[in-house]
Structure 1
Amino acid sequence: MFKIETYDYSDKNIDDLGISYEYHCVYILENGKDAYIGETNNPIRRVKEHNSDSKDNKNKKYNFNKVHIITGLLAEETPAKHYENLLIKLMKVDQRFNIVNRNDGEKPHYYRKNEFELEFDKLWGKLVENGLAKTKEFELIINSSTYKYSPYTVLTEAQQKTLTSIVNTIDSGETLPHMENYKTRPILIKGDAGTGKTVVATSLFYYLKSNQRYRDKKIGLVYANSSTRSEMQEVFKNTKGLSKKDIISPIAVTKQHYDIIICDEAQRLRRGKNLGKYYVNFKIGNERLELDNNHDELDWILNNSDCQILFFDEKQSTCPSDITCELFIERLKNNKRGIRPIKLDEQMRIGAGSSFVPYIYNLLYQRANEVKSFNDYEFKLFTSFSDMVKLLEEKENDVGLCRLCTGYAWEWKGREDNTSTDISIEGINIKWNSQTSGWLSNQDAKREMGSIYTLPGLDLNYTGVVIGPDLFFDKTNNTISVDRGNFFDSKVKNGATDEELRKYILNTYAVLLTRGIKGTYVYVCDDNLREYFAKYINIHIC
């Protein structure tokens, strides 16, 4: 971590300040109005030089009377120069002080740059605490209302820090190529389900469109998933200053060049595999940018925009058409591009807290080595499907936004014949979701079964998850296994190996199991698999 030490001084007492650093640090000289930023391994010498009567000294006229010395991870010259460069650029934008540096210092590029950039995000908050930077103006812009997904949503401290880090990175020019023949560096924000990536994405878009420096820029907010895109278009349609047209699909990026692209749920960007009817549009998108079909939607964003902000959670990849995590990261790091990493790790959606999402993945991937309980959160396993349906209906009447959902373990018979029953469990007949876009807001669809195509990226108050017959517990091999005969999503199944299919199905259920804000109810069709889950989830008692 960082330490900021502040010293008051005059020309006469510089030697008495007791500053004795023999390693590199960053310092800020200021007089309340003007400031100079530098790096050194001898701050006493540098303070004297800035206050000397030499005719070459341009800073004497400012009468600096305070020096703030920043130490911590800056003991080496290269990261210290990097922080000096960032602070000069960003404090000029921040305007707490008139920055008098005549240049921006050096912009070094080195092996551990990402590590030090992540730490810089923490340093900026300390500067604000110490009065050396202003609270970023976006806090005043966006903290005016509190409705879900709105760019006006009041952000948590962690979300505000993430937003600050993104804006600081753009303002500092850190995404620009650091030398000839290199390409722009995308900003990559990683976070688990429920850490508020969508809220940060919409708040970022609103901030940029409302800010004088960016309002003339061509900016788009991309969603690959049509149902999430539809939900966000409705939010933006009803938000003053924004438009439904601001929320775009990946293929829209191929139609015109963008200054800034924000892509939420970037793990859903597609490659040319298992695309079905969309393959026609996929080819058209590549043709527009004069790319062959070995390229994909990530290429469209990288090739037709100047700055990219990508929100990413590899664990929510649920389909072979998704660009694999390995390919996604390799493309950025090994293509003379690199990434600017930012972490978002505070659980915001799920009332169970930050340990819930890892616990779900540990259960599904059989890595759990202890039973966890979650205070003030209803996480229950049901042995009776009718009991789960009844309780979920009660919750719907009480708080609303409660839905059933499952994996693609039943045929969609109603697609051809709307009188047919799609799903039958314990004598209860249910239809698949009648629509993907806008399903949550359709009150007539409350008794339908949701799917991975209707719910990713969205919140429910209570979720009733049915783990269907596509999964079973193989007691011989002590493994959660896939029954291909009971899995009916051809876009996922075709061409996928058994291990790949298992990963996609497990990730699908993980996504569904992490939608609930107040509670998650689970019913398991396979008896042996229910027995396995009963070791880790409390059974509901009527």
Structure 2
Amino acid sequence: MQQFDSKDIHIVPVNKGGDYAGVFDSELEFYSSALVYLLNDRRSIYIGESVNIRRRFANHNANDSKKALLSRHAIYSPLFNKSVTLHLEAFLINHFSAEPTIKLLNANLGNNSHYYHRKNDYEALFKHVWEDLKKLKIAKTSFEEIINSNIFKYSPYKSLNIDQQQAVLTCLRTLVSSRKGIFIQGNAGTGKTIIAIYVLKLLVTPIRYFEQFEMEDEFSNEAFSLLKIYRQQEGITEANEAGLRDEIAIVISMTSLRGTLQKVFSAIDQLHSSMVISPTDISKRHYKLVLVDEAHRLRQRKNISGYGEFDKSNRRLGLDMHSGTELDWILKQTDRQIFFYDSAQSIRKTDLSSGRFDELMQSAKYSTLQLHTQVRSNGGQPFTDFVHRLFNMELSDDERFESSNFTIQLYEGFANLREEIFRKESESKLSRLVAGFSWEYRTKEKKNRELYDMNIEGIDLRWNSVAKDWINSKNALNEVGSIHTVFGNDLNYIGIVFGKEIDYDPNTNSIIVYRDEYKDINGKNNTNDEELLFYIKNIYKTLMFRGIRGVFLYAMNPRLRDYFKKHMKVVIKKVTLEN
């Protein structure tokens, strides 16, 4: 099999017409080969792909925003074919979208690659291309910093899989139909948030940013056609399109995720932090369209901490103070809605019941679509299935999840798990420790900040000291997060402490919970035992789905630990000097 070498990839300067001043073995081969090119100045960059660079540059030179980009380079290799250059183009667009030193001018259509022979071997070379672009001072940020950034993770420039492409098209078809909206359903990790941001970016990007001659795939062409129909129906023109940014928003219930996305939106061209709003925000004004991410976390007036703002929103909208919900606010204050929903991620009685969503989904006013492909975890859909079956007692004796790309391990010693999280943070970044609600949150009060919330195997620990964007906060590595701090976020590695409130009963072969050991008061008030079990299992499953490369577990209760031992690799407790 042919070995690929990054030395065979050349980044060469070209002039405004696409001509290269140097000499190749075959000049004709350069001008008629598939290649990737970059147009940039100090502030902006545009990335494209072509088999005829001169003709493509002639098109760009007629475009006001691109003709002024006079620093121009082509990325060329005898190893390249059309599939490879489409892949490299999408790769660079996605990574430059997270480069904080320069503004990406590409629209988010036409950036799709597809599977081809030896795709992974080619992609292994692309990191070297990024390093070469750093040497040329076109890229400034390290590859590792880029891929671990929130901007990269939530970039609307992702190459979408077939599942996600169909979801985007279904959203657009719904918007040009008579329906009020759509429900996009999918397990954790199926890319619902990415789809929401992708669609929003598509809708608010000025039409002049789209160049149809670059849309060579069927998905991009259909999406662009639907986008033009939507704009025509809504009376959107180049003269008034800037106003869309005040009429379309994404609704995020969770404080931590909302803070993260506000930072992401402030860094992406055509998006703004004000477009990321809370349900309370929507009670104050009308919107043409909202995309509601994690809709299963919309609240009802049960077990919430502080009723004041909730009641004020209900009164503002003329709704009954006790029965009005955040879903009611959205339906009343918006013309159209796109909901992203997964009932299996409901974790509290506060969360609106699935029955209310079922009513909408069964009505003729809403269409539905189910996502199936796992895109977050390197364990893929098999890991998702494994976790569900682990909690539902559906695994056969000694059945384990095995993968060369993903790690799941049970630690007998908590200290060893914590050491591994520290080690993974040093190696890969974005590695955090989280736990279930078996400990009171004493340090939430300022007067208690010097205390500790928990002690596990002699190690004193505190819950998260901040609510917004905890994962990226200064002291996150030394703290313990909860479901509320990681909801909607990705971690390279996640260490999970299964608390004293969850156990395994060998007599009934079932997962059980101890109500008195569960310290989230608002999470357990007014629940029966079946409901509390449902919520707690959902919390731990959702935590396990946060890990991209690996999940490390520790169980406080020996019987649960013994159950897990049957189904995953065990790391034997190692005594350290500290112990």
TM-score, with length taken from structure 1: 0.69
1:431 corresponds in structure 2 to 462
Structure-2 separation of matches of 1:150 and 1:246? 15
| Aligned counterpart, 2:196 | 201
Q: Does 1:517 align with 2:536?
A: no
Is 1:367 the counterpart of 2:364? The answer is no
Alpha-carbon distance in 2 for matches of 1:250, 1:141: 32
Q: Render the CA deviation track for 1:379-427: whole Å, top value 9, x for unaligned.
A: 1111111111111111100010000001111111222411211111111
Tell me which of 129, 139, 162 is aligned to 2:109. Answer: 139
Higher mean alpha-carbon deviation, 501-510 vs 470-479, is at 470-479
Question: Any residues of structure 2 matched to 1:31-430 within 5 Å, and which?
Answer: 138-140=108-110, 147-171=152-176, 173-175=177-179, 184=180, 186-212=181-207, 213=231, 215=241, 216-217=243-244, 218-277=247-306, 279-292=307-320, 293-333=322-362, 337-369=364-396, 370-416=399-445, 417-430=448-461
1:535 aligns with 2:566: yes
- For the residue of structure 2 that corresponds to 1:440, the secondary structure is helix
Matched, 1:468 2:473: no
Evaluate the alpha carbon distance shift between residue 350 and residue 141 of structure 1 in structure 2; reply closer, same or farther with a 3 A threshold.
closer
Alignment-mate amino acid for residue 364 of structure 1? F
Deviation at 1:358, TM superposition (A): 2.4
Question: After the TM superposition, which of the residue ranges 362-371 and 457-466 deviates more from structure 2?
Answer: 362-371
Moved more, 467-476 or 495-504: 467-476
The CA deviation at 1:141 is: 7.6
Give the letter aligned to residue 515 of structure 1.
Answer: R
- The residue aligned with 1:117 is none
Cα shift at 1:142? 9.3
How much has 1:522 moved relative to structure 2? 0.5
Distance 1:148 1:395 in 2: 19
Q: What residue in structure 2 maps to residue 54 of structure 1?
A: none
Q: 1:288 is aligned with what amino acid?
A: R
Q: Aligned residue for 2:99?
A: none
**2:485 counterpart of 1:454:** yes
Contact 2:360–2:366 (CA<8 Å) still a contact in 1? Answer: no
Deviation at 1:270, TM superposition (A): 0.5
Secondary structure of 1:477's aligned partner? coil
8 A contact 2:111–2:158 mirrored in 1: no
Amino acid at match of 1:193: A
* Counterparts of 2:352 and 2:206, CA distance in 1: 33
Q: Secondary structure of the residue that 1:446 maps to in structure 2?
A: helix
* Equivalent residue number for residue 52 of structure 1: none
Q: CA offsets per residue over residues 432-457 of structure 1, 9 Å max, x none?
A: 01111021111322110010110011
**Aligned partners of 1:348, 1:250: CA distance in 2, in Å?**
27
Distance 2:308 2:389 in 1: 38
Matched letter for residue 166 of structure 2: K
Tell me the distance in 2 between the aligned counterparts of 1:449 and 1:309.
34
Deviation at 1:174, TM superposition (A): 4.2
In 2, Cα distance between the equivalents of 1:318 and 1:390? 29
SS at structure 1 position matched to 2:418: helix
Give the AA of the match of 2:486.
L
Aligned residues: 393
Give the greater-gyration-radius structure (CA).
1
User: Which amino acid letter does the alignment assign opposite residue 162 of structure 1?
Assistant: A
Residues 9-20 of structure 1: matches in 2 within 5 Å? none
User: 1:403 is paired with a residue of what secondary structure?
Assistant: strand
Asked whether 1:504 is paired with 2:504, we answer no
From the superposition, tell whether residues 366 and 338 of structure 1 become closer, same or farther in structure 2 (CA, over 3 Å): farther
Question: In 2, are the aligned partners of 1:142 and 1:151 still within 8 Å (CA)?
Answer: no
CA change 1:515–1:326 in 2 (3 A) is: same
Within 5 Å, give how 1:16-27 maps onto structure 2: none
Which amino acid counterpart does residue 485 of structure 1 have in structure 2? Answer: D
Identity of aligned residues (%): 34
| 3-state SS of paired residue (2:269) | coil
The equivalent residue for 1:480 is: 511
Residue in structure 1 matched with residue 476 of structure 2 by the alignment? 445
Report the CA distance between 1:331 and its aligned residue.
4.2
Q: How far apart in 1 are the matches of 2:346 and 2:534?
A: 9
Which whole-Å deviations, capped at 9, do the CAs of 1:210-263 have from their partners, x for residues lacking one? 154253441110001111100000001111221110000011111111111100
**CA displacement at 1:479 relative to structure 2:** 2.5
Q: Conserved in 2, the CA contact under 8 Å of 1:393 and 1:402? A: yes
Separation of aligned partners in 1, 2:386 and 2:415: 26
Contact map agreement 2:443 2:453 (CA 8 A) in 1: yes
Coordinate RMSD, CA, aligned: 2.0
Counterparts of 1:530 and 1:254, CA distance in 2: 46
1:288 Cα offset (Å): 1.8
1:345 maps to a residue whose letter is H
CA-to-aligned-CA distance 1:5-48 (integer Å, 9 cap, x gap): xxxxxxxxxxxxxxxxxxxxxxxxxxxxxxxxxxxxxxxxxxxx
For 1:398 and 1:449, how far apart are their aligned partners in 2?
20
Superposed structure 1 runs of 4+ greater than 6 Å apart: none
Q: Distance in 1 between matches of 2:482 and 2:559?
A: 24
Greater helix content: 2
How many Å separate the matches in 2 of 1:400 and 1:140? 31
User: What secondary structure sits across from 2:475 in the alignment?
Assistant: helix
Deviation at 1:538, TM superposition (A): 1.6
Structure 2: unaligned runs, 5 residues or longer: 1-106, 114-145, 208-230, 575-579
What secondary structure is seen at the aligned counterpart in 2 of 1:308? Answer: strand
Secondary structure at the aligned position of 1:195 is classed as coil
Letter in 2 for 1:378: T
Query: Is the Cα–Cα contact under 8 Å of residues 490 and 547 in structure 2 kept in the other structure?
Result: yes
TM-score, L = length of structure 2: 0.65
* Alpha carbons of structure 1 residues 158 and 328: separation in structure 2 relative to 1, 3 Å: closer
Distance across 2 between alignment mates of 1:280 and 1:318: 22
Which is worse superposed, 434-443 or 258-267?
A: 434-443
Report the secondary structure of 2:109's partner residue.
helix
Cα displacement (A) at 1:338: 4.1
Residue 301 of structure 1 deviates from its aligned partner by 1.1
Counterpart-to-counterpart distance in 1, 2:108 and 2:182: 19
Which letter does structure 2 place at the counterpart of 1:152? Y
1:467-524 CA distance string (max 9 Å, x none):
0101122233332211122111111111111111111111111111110000000111
SS of 1:153's equivalent in the other structure is coil
Q: Report the Cα distance in structure 1 between the residues aligned to 2:470 and 2:197, rounded to whole angstroms.
A: 21
Paired amino acid for 2:441 = W
Given that 1:472 and 1:526 are in contact with CA atoms closer than 8 Å, whether structure 2 keeps it comes out as yes
